Amino acid sequence: MGFRVPRILPLLALAAAFPLLAQSAWQPGHTSIGFSPQTQQWVRMVSSPRLSVKAGRHDVTLSFVIQDGLHINSHTPHSPFLIPTSLTLTGNDGVQIAKIEYPQGTDYHFQFSPKDALSVYTGQFSLLVPLRARPGRYTLRGRLRYQACNDRTCNPPKTLPVTLHLTAR
């Protein structure tokens, strides 16, 4: 007759681990890499929200800066499980927006997965927004979706509202 583990022991082990599981890095308020209220953004737009262009076709560059010590996945991460950075910007009757152009990410190797490179943006990055505008004043609204991480963990995905006031003459 061998040693038998009482059925209650696995349940006790799970109960002991539950507080650790309940405090995952996905919860708001977690302090592992600077979590703060859900309004906290780790990326900000540094381009002027007011643009003046000639009517017709024009390429607008929107620049963003990522908080020091953090990175975000590029628009084309190497894994389908990673959240890509993406900008959605809606035109209107006077402005048509073509396909947004993203910079190539930089491959980094992190300690948690030294063999696998992640395609990320760090510091400042810019997006090229080709558009065609008729003469007039327009307000374009959109959002930048991203996930900010450091070398150990990731914040929950965020959406940064983007508003552009465009004057085409």
The enclosing H or E element of 124 equals strand 124-133
Q: What are the Cα distances from residue 1, in Å, to 4, 7, 44?
A: 9, 17, 66
What's the whole-number mean pLDDT along residues 37-57? 88
DSSP bridge partners of 161: 143
Q: Is domain 44-168 annotated with CATH 2.60.40.1250?
A: yes
pLDDT band at 111 (very low <50, low <70, confident <90, very high): confident
Rounded CA gap, 104 and 123, in Å? 14
- Checking if the pLDDT of 15 tops 80, the result is no
- Checking if the pLDDT of 106 tops 60, the result is yes
pLDDT tens-place string over residues 66-99: 999 999 999 999 989 899 999 999 988 899 999 9
Are residues 64 and 144 in contact, defined by beta-carbon separation less than 8 angstroms? Answer: yes
In this structure, the number of other CB atoms found within 10 A of the CB of residue 156 comes to 14
Mean pLDDT of the chain: 82
Query: Whose structure tokens read 């505008």?
Result: 133
Rounded CA gap, 97 and 140, in Å? 10
What is residue 116's predicted lDDT score, i.e. its pLDDT? 85
Q: Which residues, at least 6 apart from 142, have a Cβ–Cβ distance to it below 8 Å?
A: 87, 88, 89, 90, 161, 162, 163, 164
pLDDT band at 137 (very low <50, low <70, confident <90, very high): very high
Rounded CA gap, 164 and 139, in Å? 6
